[in-house]
Amino acid sequence: MLWEGRFKKEIDSKTNDFNSSIRFDQRMYKEDITGSIAHSKMLAKQGIIEESESKKIVGELNKILEDIENNTLEIDKDAEDIHMFIESELTKRIGSTGKRLHTARSRNDQVALDIRMYLKNEIQDIIKLIKELIITLVKKAEENTETVMPGYTHMQRAQPITFAHHLMAYVEMLLRDIERLEQTYNRTNIMPLGSCALAGTTYNLDRNYVKDLLGFSDITKNSLDGVSDRDFAIEFISDVSIIMMHLSRLSEEIVMWCSWEFKFIELDDAFSTGSSIMPQKKNPDITELVRGKTGRVYGDLMGILTMMKGLPLAYNKDMQEDKEFIFDSTDTVKICLTTLIPMIDTMKVLKENMKKAALKGFINATDCADYLVRKGIPFRDAYKATGTLVAYAIDNDKTLDELNLDEYRKISDKFDEDIYKAIDLKTCVINRNVIGGPAPEQVKKRIKEVKEILGKK
């Protein structure tokens, strides 16, 4: 034990298991070693340890890294955490020089550093995956700028849109997700080493040198905050929760679109599952799991917020729990994105079924009212006339385009032959040519912009 001077007994073994975090924090071995190398170089530069000692420490830390990566060094499950394990392994190998590494450092600033470094990498990976999903959605959108489908409110067919327009709505959400992650990255990119246990140190450290070595943009400005701040992790899990909420909404729609009630899409066999009893079944399990896993990421967010809320300054052991929340949300969002991308890429869009659904449900009723408005009728009157027309059509089991001109004229003498063109679904979509609207021209324009945005990212 590193603190054996103060203690007369070994720690109870069950207490040791309870106390230890090595089971989950071992995945930060690389960050821990990289941080220690920078710290050791700075100690030598400041004359706190000898140059030769630092060289020895750095050389051996690199060897430990290599040994862990090629599986020749097994991580000791009885160690309290990854920081203790690496330090004691170093000391085992190079003796008392290894004991100099922890000068002017505490595990409290060390763990804060490691998590920040770990998250910086994860954020970049997740942004890459989101970009891939956007590219996949944009590709599907490009193939469907003319694919008319009903747009819904209250799950009732409402107005005509295109499948491209619908998919591009998710692209907008995902672009915001990237933006949020980029902002979180900036606040994660601050170097806490030098805060030490809580009150800084009496040694003359060069914190900015460590910052530069490790590629951070700035250093923390208060030692208490430096070791007790987990805002960046909470923000990160909150970003991931929002991403998962988006993926879950998309998943829910895919579940519906696969059902016989909709049949708007068909998933590739490689990305769906069957039933053990019902031979006809093809289930969208992936999307259901994404929807389900969203709940566990929300749990991670609630967990970390609740864990932090009552903690006095500065470090408290409660904070060791942060890592399981962070790792779980990272792993979950990555696996969800990785699985969704090829599933969406290979799904078949059943355009005819979308069109059939669009033809039923009077989704061109607003366009019919707008037609009357263009003929000089105030919108409220046009709205009422069209409502009467819809009620008549329902009673006679017809759609608006199946009514003849006499039937139209019974409601308003403003109706002419050109009403049929005006309520044609293609026309209805093309005419929604406002910026942000479903008109193919608008959606194509936005697709082009998105490609440019992605090119710059």
CB of 204 to ligand ARG, least distance (A): 24
Q: Which amino acid is at 317?
A: K
- Residue 316 or 353: which CB sits closer to ligand ARG? 316
Instruction: Give ∠ CA 170-172-177 in degrees, rounded to 5.
Output: 95
Given candidates 193, 319, 357, 423, which one binds ligand ARG under the rule CB under 6 A?
319
Please tell me the distance from the alpha carbon of residue 375 to that of residue 414, in angstroms, as a whole number.
Answer: 7
- Given the rule CB under 6 A, which of 57-65, 118-126, 128-136, 317-325 is the region that contacts ligand ARG? 317-325
- Given the rule CB under 6 A, which of 104-112, 143-151, 241-249, 254-262 is the region that contacts ligand ARG? 104-112
Whether residue 326 contacts residue 121, with contact meaning beta carbons closer than 8 Å, is answered with: no
* Number of neighbours of residue 345 by Cβ within 10 angstroms: 16
Burial class (CB in 10 A: 0-12, 13-18, 19+), 240: buried
- Residue 34 or 54: which CB sits closer to ligand ARG? 34
CB of 220 to ligand ARG, least distance (A): 16
Please tell me the distance from the alpha carbon of residue 339 to that of residue 273, in angstroms, as a whole number.
Answer: 14
Which among 13, 96, 154, 276 is annotated as catalytic? Answer: 154
**Both structure tokens of 189:** 């990119």
Given candidates 36, 40, 54, 108, which one binds ligand ARG under the rule CB under 6 A?
108
33 part of the interface to ligand ARG, by CB under 6 A? no
* Number of neighbours of residue 330 by Cβ within 10 angstroms: 23
CB of 82 to ligand ARG, least distance (A): 8
- Residue 232 or 383: which CB sits closer to ligand ARG? 232
Please tell me the distance from the alpha carbon of residue 350 to that of residue 358, in angstroms, as a whole number.
Answer: 13
Tokens 């050791």, residue located: 40
- Residue 26 or 40: which CB sits closer to ligand ARG? 26
39 as an active site residue: the answer is no
Q: Identify residues 320-359 at the interface with ligand ARG (CB under 6 A).
A: 320
CB of 83 to ligand ARG, least distance (A): 6
**Both structure tokens of 195:** 């805060």
31 part of the interface to ligand ARG, by CB under 6 A? no
Which among 52, 217, 259, 275 is annotated as catalytic? Answer: 275
Instruction: Tell me the number of residues near ligand ARG by CB under 6 A.
Output: 10
Whether residue 16 contacts residue 80, with contact meaning beta carbons closer than 8 Å, is answered with: yes
247 part of the interface to ligand ARG, by CB under 6 A? no
CB of 111 to ligand ARG, least distance (A): 4
- Residue 197 or 390: which CB sits closer to ligand ARG? 197
Helix (H) / strand (E) element for 296: namely helix 285-308
CB of 271 to ligand ARG, least distance (A): 38
- Residue 26 or 147: which CB sits closer to ligand ARG? 26
195 part of the interface to ligand ARG, by CB under 6 A? no
* CA dihedral sign of residues 249, 252, 257, 262: negative
286-315 footprint of ligand ARG as x/- string (CB under 6 A) = -----------------------------x
DSSP state, residue 311: P
Q: State in Å, rounded, how far the first CA of the chain is from the last one.
A: 47
In angstroms, what CA-CA distances link 24 with 4, 37, 405, 413?
25, 22, 73, 75
Whether residue 148 contacts residue 160, with contact meaning beta carbons closer than 8 Å, is answered with: yes
107 part of the interface to ligand ARG, by CB under 6 A? yes
CB of 318 to ligand ARG, least distance (A): 9
For the chain, the maximum distance between any two Cα atoms, rounded to a whole number of angstroms, is: 101
81 part of the interface to ligand ARG, by CB under 6 A? yes
Closest CA to 82 of 311, 327, 277: 327
Burial class (CB in 10 A: 0-12, 13-18, 19+), 441: exposed
Closest CA to 149 of 344, 447, 363, 437: 363
- Residue 107 or 246: which CB sits closer to ligand ARG? 107
Whether residue 282 contacts residue 274, with contact meaning beta carbons closer than 8 Å, is answered with: yes
* Alpha helix (H) residue ranges in 143-205: 163-188
CB of 239 to ligand ARG, least distance (A): 22
Q: Identify residues 110-139 at the interface with ligand ARG (CB under 6 A).
A: 111
- Residue 101 or 344: which CB sits closer to ligand ARG? 101
- Given the rule CB under 6 A, which of 106-114, 331-339, 421-429, 435-443 is the region that contacts ligand ARG? 106-114
CB of 106 to ligand ARG, least distance (A): 7
383 part of the interface to ligand ARG, by CB under 6 A? no
Tell me the β-bridge partners of 152.
157
412 as an active site residue: the answer is no
- Residue 29 or 298: which CB sits closer to ligand ARG? 29
447 part of the interface to ligand ARG, by CB under 6 A? no
Please tell me the distance from the alpha carbon of residue 265 to that of residue 29, in angstroms, as a whole number.
Answer: 44
* Residues found near ligand ARG in the complex (CB under 6 A): 21, 25, 81, 107-108, 111, 315, 317, 319-320
Residues that are catalytic: 154, 275
